[in-house]
Each structure stands twice: as C-alpha cells, then as structure tokens.
Amino acid sequence: MEMEASLRHAIEQGHFELYLQPILELESGQITKAEALIRWRLEDGSLVAPDDFIPLAEQTGLIVPLGKWVINRAGEMLKTIIQHKPSLKVSVNLSPRQFSDKNLVSFLKSVVDHCGIPAQNLELELTEGVLIDNFDKVQQLLNDVRKMGISVSIDDFGTGYSSLAYLQKLPIDHLKIDRSFVRDLDTNDSDRAIVLAVIAMAHSLKLGVIAEGVENRQQRQFLLDNQCDTAQGYLFSKPVPFDDFCQQLIVES
C-alpha cells in the first residue's frame, strides 16, 4: 500500500502507541515530567519511528487527526498518573500544522474536561519554526493556551533560526536545549559555551531549562554544576511504554 494510504488506515484503526520518556529534576533526581513520543505499530508487530512518518503526516494534514489522538491519549495517561503523582506533567509535541489548527484551544479544553485532569499537568512542546510565522497569531494562541493553565516549552532550542526577541515577548515557560549541543559536552568547548549561555539567558528571562539527550554521567554533572534545572536522555531512561513508565514512578516513590 502507498505510505499515505497506510498512514490514513493506521489512524482510522488506531495503530499507534504513545511512549513516555521521563524528565528528571537534576538536583533531586526525581521524575517531574514525561515527554510523549508517538510510535506506529505495524501489523507484523514492528515499530515505525516518528521521523519516518511525522513529516508525511505533516505534509498531508494527517498530523491533525493524529495529533488529536496523541493529546487524547496523553490526557488518559495523566488521569491514571496523577492518582500516584499529582504534580507530574506530560509534554506533547506539536508540529506547525497542528499549531495553526484553529480548533486547537477548544480541542485542548475538551480533552482536559473529558479526562477530568488539571490543565496544569499538560505541556506543549513547540519548535522555533512554529513561532516565527505570524507573530501576532502565535502570541494570541499561546496566551489562550497559557490562560487555560497549560505550559509551553520551546523544543530543540538553538537549532532554529529565529530572533531571540520572541523569547521575551511570548508567554513561554521552558527552553529545551537540543541534544546536538549536549552530545559532545565533555570535549567540545563551544558546545559548553552555548549550553552555559542558554541556561543563563533562560534563567534571566525566568524560564526553566531542560537538557535533552543526556547519555552519560559527565554530561549530567556538567549540567547539574551549571544550574540546568531538568534533563532527559538515555542515561535516565529511553522512551518507554506507559506501563513501564508507571513502574519507574512506583520504584522511585
């Protein structure tokens, strides 16, 4: 079957799974958040990674129904999770097309109501690319999202090319340092300089900082020593199915 047709079919049939990757507070080592990451389960049981179908979903507009499935599923997960850990947040990736869907805010409201969860437990991850087109519209949307209580992170920070002015003007909560800057932290002086600059800038703008792609203890220690707030990466856990994530929460409590 053609890829677009099989993706459409998979959406109709719900052949997706939402994995969670823990995000830890570096100081305490506690899991405070999880990033939701979609996987496509094929009939033969194998998994397709999002990089292999999100771009197509984005091009064809299928990302809108798919993204609604993701937000719904994240809401259902939160309903269970907050019974064990009321403060835990789940962050969901939104691609540009989803963010320009005019029903986004009302859809978010309906999920929060339907699941009976506080909006404060949901977070949206947006890439810099989302923010540069149509500043006024983006600002309005983010204001509406924030008014509901949902928080906002800028994902892959440092890889896009947008004006730093938007950081100051837009209502956002956290910057996620792209893992390309974290990978060689042990050896690359310019990566260290960039990471330090992002942490300092974020804090002076009263934003939290999340380091992505932390794979070893040296990276973790550097980030901890330099006041990075939170981190995610294979050192702590790879993205895992919901039940495995709940198990991790139980083990740490």
List residues near ligand G by CB under 6 A.
21, 37-38, 49-51, 54, 67, 70, 93-95, 155-156, 179, 212-215, 232-234, 239
Nearer CB in complex with Na ion: 123/125: 125
Residue 203 binding: pick among ligand G, Mn ion, Na ion, none (C-beta 5-8 Å cut-off by kind): none
Nearer CB in complex with Na ion: 70/199: 70
Residue window 120-139: x/- pattern of binding to Na ion, with contact defined by CB under 5 A: -----x--------------
Nearer CB in complex with ligand G: 88/155: 155
Query: 120 and 152 in contact (C-beta within 8 Å)?
Result: no
Which residues inside 66-95 make contact with Na ion, applying CB under 5 A?
Answer: 93
- Measured on CA atoms in the order 192, 158, 17, 86, is the torsion positive or negative? positive
Distance CA 209, CA 229 (A): 5
Least spacing, CB of residue 96 vs ligand G, in Å: 9
What are the structure tokens assigned to 5, written together?
């047709």
Least spacing, CB of residue 159 vs ligand G, in Å: 9
DSSP β-ladder status, 89-94 and 16-25: unpaired
Q: Dihedral, CA atoms, 105, 110, 113, 115, nearest 10 degrees?
A: -110
What are the structure tokens assigned to 167, written together?
């950081």
Residue with tokens 């990674």: 49
Least spacing, CB of residue 161 vs ligand G, in Å: 16
In 3D space, the residue among 253, 242, 245 whose CA is nearest the CA of residue 73 turns out to be 242
Residue 170 binding: pick among ligand G, Na ion, Mn ion, none (C-beta 5-8 Å cut-off by kind): none
One-letter amino acid identity for 182?
V
Nearer CB in complex with Na ion: 125/128: 125
Query: 224 and 27 in contact (C-beta within 8 Å)?
Result: yes
Residue choice 142, 155, 213, 219 for contact with Mn ion (CB under 5 A): 155
Which residues neighbour 233 within 8 Å (Cβ) at sequence distance 6 or greater? 179, 182, 211, 212, 213, 214, 215, 219
Nearer CB in complex with Mn ion: 128/155: 155
| DSSP secondary structure letter of residue 133 | S
Query: 231 and 214 in contact (C-beta within 8 Å)?
Result: yes
Nearer CB in complex with Na ion: 187/212: 212
Residue window 144-183: x/- pattern of binding to Na ion, with contact defined by CB under 5 A: -----------x----------------------------
Which residues inside 30-69 make contact with Na ion, applying CB under 5 A?
Answer: none
Residue nearest to Mn ion (CB): 155
Phi first, then psi, for residue 19 (nearest 5°) are -90, 160
Least spacing, CB of residue 67 vs ligand G, in Å: 6
Q: Which residues contact Mn ion by CB under 5 A? A: 155
